[in-house]
Amino acid sequence: MRCFISLAAAVGAVAATTAAARDAPSQFVFGGDFDTKFQVNSSRPEGGRRTENLWNETNLAGYINVGEHLSFNGAAKYERHKFNNADNFFIDHDAFLEDHGLTLRQLYSTVSFHPVSIYGGKIHPKFGSGFEETPGIFQPFSTDYEQDERLGFGAAVELPEMFGRSAFSAEVFKLDTTFLSEAAFSRLALDDPQANRVKRLRRSLGGASNTNNLDSYTLALRGKDIADIDGLKYQVSYTSEGVGQPGESRESGVSFGGSYEIKLSPRLGLTPYVEYAAFRNLGGAADQRDRYLTAAAALTWSKWTLAPAVIPHRITTPDGTTRDLQYSISLIRDLEIIDGLSAGIGFNHVRVADRDSDTIGVMVSYARSF
């Protein structure tokens, strides 16, 4: 499986330790998660030569609970800041750990009085789930609409047990353009046309939620085990994000997604996943509509996982409609020599702006909690 530290995982860990801390409110409870992944991709883009590149992605997330009601959370990520998402498959030269940088993704505090939690700081709004739930070793198109690098506030309310383990959240935010968005080790310039994450985010870059005000918001309902159905997860979310540059239009979007873990036998399991996301003016692009559909599955047998995924993306503008496509298949093996170590191989095809690229990838990853 792809090793991503998600806000949902961090919040789940905090909730578990908060429950333990209620029995000993004077104690500090701390912990976190670490994962790292190295991947070699061999890509053959249409009209170009075959290229090989090695990249790394490392995540570190941690929390501290102070007594019964207060917690602090943080998350950092080391990753390539150039050729993100589909551009990975159109690189025009060989690359070895090129253009990587370290950024602070989350830094916020939470005050909890069951069933309500209020949090603020550098947060990760809960819109969509495909960027973290899609199985396989390749980055999916759904990372296009992941909401990270946001400063703001939020509140979450746990729903009654009749709705399973569910919570409703509301968050207001803006893009982080402060010193907290500074990227260590990264030296990409603002005028680099292929730089998807420059050294520091700035107002001049434009885009969704890049304003001076907390005029962007996300509403989300997330849960699992609803109606006593073990293994069922779902999310429904809506977002509206302000813009601050001439020619841009306010973005709005909605997402529906879920997965269901099916035990076919003691050693065999199947987890299908689906998500639909629709946007008006994605990223501030005026008069543009985007539609994403993610259909994926993870078939597990003992230590093996087979993960196919298909993600069509439709873009509609006054000039017409463009259809992009991503499909992939990955085979992953948990290695028993070290707990948390896994390896995988996969094939990925993308079609972006009427141009195709095929990629074969080999991955090694390690994850642990502490």
Residue 303: inside a domain = yes
Domain membership flag for residue 254:
yes
Task: Decide if 2 is inside a domain.
Answer: no
Looking at residue 84, what is its pLDDT? 46
- The 10s digit of each residue's pLDDT in 6-46 is 334 443 443 444 444 444 445 889 999 999 999 999 999 89
The verdict on residue 81 lying in a domain is: yes
Q: Do the domain assignments include residue 162?
A: yes
116 falls within a domain: yes
- State the CATH number of the domain containing residue 27: 2.40.160.10
pLDDT at 189: 56
Number of domains in the chain: 1
Domain range enclosing 112? 7-369
Q: What is the mean pLDDT of each run of 10 residues along the chain (370 residues)?
A: 39 41 63 97 90 94 94 95 60 84 95 96 96 94 93 96 89 96 76 62 89 96 86 96 94 97 94 98 95 98 97 96 96 94 97 93 96
Structure confidence by residue, pLDDT tens digits, 160-175: 887 888 999 999 999 9
Residue 178 maps to a domain: yes
| pLDDT score for 227 | 73
**Is residue 189 exposed (0-12), middle (13-18) or buried (19+ Cβ within 10 Å)?**
exposed
Query: pTM (2 decimals)?
Result: 0.87
pLDDT tens-digit series, residues 343-362: 999 999 999 989 999 999 99
Please tell me the predicted confidence (pLDDT) of residue 272: 98
